[in-house]
Chains A and B, each alone.
Chain A
Amino acid sequence: MLTKEDTHKELFTMGHTGCSGCAQSMAVKLILEVLGKNTIATTATGCLEVFSTRYPESSWRIPWIHSLFENSAAVASGIEAALKITGRKNGTTVLAQGGDGGTADIGLQALSGMFERGHDVLYVCYDNGAYMNTGYQRSGLTPFDAYTTTSPSGKQSFGNSRPKKYMPQIAMAHRIPYTAVASAGYPVDLQKKIKKAASITGPKYVQIDVPCTPGWKYEPRYSVKIARLAVQTGLYPLFEAEYDKIISVKKISKKVPVEEYLKLQGRFKHLFKDEAGRMEIEKIQKIADENIVKFGLL
């Protein structure tokens, strides 16, 4: 039985200013439930950092530090090294967090260094597919053809013209002991992966698909549904890897056409206007189909 008083004791507390329906805040809550009190966290600049620490308030009930936009992994490396050298590691999980921009773009160098040096840090990337905190600019993890304020759709363009970066594979290429891709649409799977990551010594990378209501332009009630559709279409394959080998994938029971996913989101609405848009949807279907084959999702 969970009482109202219990809910006020969560390690990541309510009272933060994330948007109504923010899947990123849901993921953080689920992660801290698994990691527990003996955790020290860093957070790169971005939505999570801003909405969870509106001074003099904080949603964190664990030691927490705001790094810069680019160096969450470097700050976490320092914390881990200091705990080790002073003999105070004692099973503490060092959790480094960043958005997709803070991870795959500006923070990539710091993250690569953390992997290379072999720090015992769990790095979590909250992937909402753009720089949301500053007004929905394109990142390296923005999906193909999505509208963002720096990849607008119009007469000359269907939105983001570049493919989404294979960030988990970049982590795997460092041959770290554990890499996983999870989704706010599958909370049990997400918590299982975080638990496993925390049990492994060394650098770990977990990337989570976290829909964003104003950035993706949909009604808040669909956050979980959209996250699930991303998986069921094959557009966001969930898997686990040890070193550079994939060891498990989340199978999809029945392939869902990408339209089902795209049509719920305003960031893709320009694809539903005419024949040219329909051809673009076919390209997105091809991305999903290729994922299904590559990862053996069906």
Chain B
Amino acid sequence: MDFDFKIGIIALPGAALANKTGSFANEVPVFKQKTCTGCNLCIYYCPEGVVYGDKKTKIYNFDADYCKGCGICAEECPVDDIEMVLVEK
């Protein structure tokens, strides 16, 4: 008998990127870019790994496609430069 094994129980590495978890978020961060010291803590602590940016320019941003709006980046920012705002959907 011929079998077609293309449909197996293997998922492709990193295939979860197809799942846009930004739909979880009620709030999203705003990087105010006023008092930022470039400490990178927001990158470190984001549980989703969606914060990116640059120590030197002190410009940080987040990926709204995946941010779940937990607010940890805002809570942990030592200089209060991140604010959570309600998402309008």
Chain A positions within 8 Å of B, measured between CB atoms, are 1-4, 6-8, 10, 12-23, 25-26, 29-30, 52-62, 187, 213, 219-225
Shortest CB distance B26–A (Å): 9
Chain B positions within 8 Å of A, measured between CB atoms, are 9, 11-21, 24-25, 43-56, 61, 63, 66, 68-72, 74-76, 84
Q: Say yes or no: A221 contacts B75, CB within 8 Å.
A: yes
CA distance A53 to B63 in the complex (A): 21
Q: Say yes or no: A26 contacts B71, CB within 8 Å.
A: no
Identify which of A1, A14, A26 contacts B66 (C-beta below 8 A).
A14
A-B contact count (CB 8 A): 119
Contacts of A223 in B (CB 8 A): 47, 70, 72
- Known contacts: A7-B49, A26-B45, A29-B47. The answer to whether A14 contacts B11 by CB under 8 A is no
Further pairs besides A2-B53, A16-B21: 5, Cβ < 8 Å: A15-B17, A21-B47, A55-B11, A58-B14, A60-B13
The 5 closest A-B CB pairs, nearest first, are: A221-B71, A15-B16, A21-B70, A20-B68, A26-B47
Shortest CB distance B77–A (Å): 11
Give me 19 A-to-B residue pairs in the complex whose CB atoms sit less than 8 angstroms apart, sorted by A's number.
A1-B53, A2-B54, A4-B52, A6-B52, A13-B49, A14-B17, A14-B50, A14-B66, A15-B17, A17-B19, A22-B47, A29-B49, A55-B11, A56-B11, A57-B16, A59-B16, A187-B45, A220-B71, A224-B76
CA distance A220 to B69 in the complex (A): 9
Contacts of B19 in A (CB 8 A): 15-17, 54, 57
Shortest CB distance B63–A (Å): 6
Using CB atoms, name the residue of chain B closest to A60: B13
Q: Say yes or no: A221 contacts B52, CB within 8 Å.
A: no
Q: Say yes or no: B72 contacts A224, CB within 8 Å.
A: yes
Contacts of A8 in B (CB 8 A): 17
Q: Say yes or no: A15 contacts B63, CB within 8 Å.
A: no
Q: Say yes or no: B21 contacts A224, CB within 8 Å.
A: no
Contacts of B17 in A (CB 8 A): 8, 13-15
Shortest CB distance A262–B (Å): 19
Contacts of A213 in B (CB 8 A): 70
Contacts of A225 in B (CB 8 A): 75-76
Identify which of A16, A17, A25, A187 contacts B44 (C-beta below 8 A).
A187
Identify which of B11, B51, B61, B63 contacts A58 (C-beta below 8 A).
B11
Q: Say yes or no: A52 contacts B75, CB within 8 Å.
A: no
CA distance A58 to B46 in the complex (A): 19
Shortest CB distance B84–A (Å): 8
- Known contacts: A7-B63, A14-B21, A224-B76. The answer to whether A58 contacts B15 by CB under 8 A is yes
